[in-house]
A and B are shown apart, each in its own frame.
Chain A
Amino acid sequence: MTLLEVQDLNVHFPTGEGTVHASRNISFRLQPGEVLGLVGETGSGKSVIGQAIIRLLPSSAQVSGHIYFSGQDLTGLSESSIHALRGCSISLIPQNPSGALNPVMMNGQQIAEIFETQGTQRKTAVETSWELLAAVGLVPAERIAREYPHQLSGGMRQRLTTSIAIARGSTKLIIADEPTKGLDYHARETTARLLREISTEKHAALLLITHDLYLAEHICDRIAVLYAGEIVEIGYAEQIFSKPIHPYTQALMKAIPKNGLVPLAGQSPSLMALPEGCAFMDRCERQTEKCHQEHPLMTQENIDGGVRCHHPYCA
């Protein structure tokens, strides 16, 4: 059974200067235990999708479409019902671990309080927090539990926020928002391994929001490539990396250092003034008259893959 199905999700932010179309026509499915990567540049609407699922967008956001989680439509739920899912069935690993930790609360307490609010005895809660710290490699756990977030390195904070997110152990879906942002090579690798382990161990699906292609290649089963708020290509990770179909995905792959570090010229269009046709046409070498007039639709050849292009490279 599909764990998460996002159907035609649109997120707009009305501003004084016009409407920002942050995410448009987003549809994808996620099976239990699967790792799906949402890959794209800054401003391609990746984080907005994660926040829309767990309903943490600012109140100014206009959201339409459907989000089915275990068959239940989240868009129709009340704030209290969705709050009951947060941290319980759906966890979010926040984007910036340094900002996401309470600076005046001890590391261990930030985990332990989750159990305390569920009525667990203080002593048991503290002991469980040590176990969780040790599980993500923060040792010696008892000492680290008594320290404050500012005493940890970036990589360690990342692991702490991860362990907070999965603390309840009942999570079915983990949304990781740029978990490797600002981390060095080594820490990235440990984070990647940790995320993969957690998803396998808990049989939880992982929605990985990232612009880190290295991370995506190493831990994702499937990848959705976003451009200007839309999914332009979705498919299995190997296929996306070895045989990309969409011109944008191709360009993205060429920009990876080991593939030659060829940057893509131009800039993505403003999310306030999107062209009528294909959003990528101005930077595309295969553009034709059709691209200017007609907005390409997602191909629905099979449920797991598809491309949004009039002239895709042949698979």
Chain B
Amino acid sequence: MFFSKSDKLLFYSTLPLIVGVLGILLILSYMILSQSWPSFQRFGFAVLTTSAWSPSDDPQREFYGLAAPIASSLYVSILSVLVSVPISICLTLTLIEILPKYLGAPLRYVTEVMGGLPTVIYGLWGSTTLAPFLRDQVMKPLHDYLGFIPLFSCRPLTGHSMLAASITLAVATTPYVTALLIEGYYLIPSKYKEGAYSLGATDYEAYKIMMGILKPYVIAASLLGFSRALSETTIVALTVGNSMKLSLCLFDPAYTIPSLIANQFESARLYEYALPTLFAGALILLLISLAASYAGIRLVYGWRERIHV
């Protein structure tokens, strides 16, 4: 394994680095847990099952519950995944299979540009351009004609809503999901495609077969995209409307956990239990996000090992 003394030196000097990075992760989890502890002690599980944000100078009268932000976080992120994954599948096939190279290369460049674009730009665009557009062109007609469906039952006001947030999020996370799918698509052995065509499949049928093989990877990419959407702060805080409300209606404003933290952190320092409650929210966020990325990565590795047998 080692070819010289310097190799050994390198090996052992990397050790503290890895331990250090692992240590930071553990300290981070511990800090978040310990900072949130007073909130769990005071409110118990009610902090996760009720929905309230009433700070008070008298610590006895403070009451907080994170049910609404947690539910809205999940709602908005799942919605954004439902939008971004189909687009990503189309993009993957278009870029790899359908378009000739001179058209595919520029399109790929553009998606890569969009993948790295600072999220605050998406947020500002979502709040000033996309939200009013959605309100006038999508939300109002849907509310007028299909208002009896609970999803569309509330009257859209400013356009800043869970729908606007999830669409902006979907636009921002699609390049990431697409990059994952492209990576997976190239790993599929070519025998499957050759087999499909030799049996007389049309292009579309062949793509369907390829996507069937890629299915675990698609699920993994969705999980990773979900984790990214869930932890996104800037975009959501600028587009979701920021209101403490538990609602199923897409056009209602809401708080997600990150946007609640971003909005309330400064003032939360003034109250005894507000800051611990925000840390409790961060803990929940961390747990869900880590679980989703872990599951996604496990799926990816499992699939890679199976496909190469």
Q: Do A and B bind each other?
A: no
| Interface residues in chain B, defined as those with a beta carbon under 8 Å from any beta carbon in chain A | none
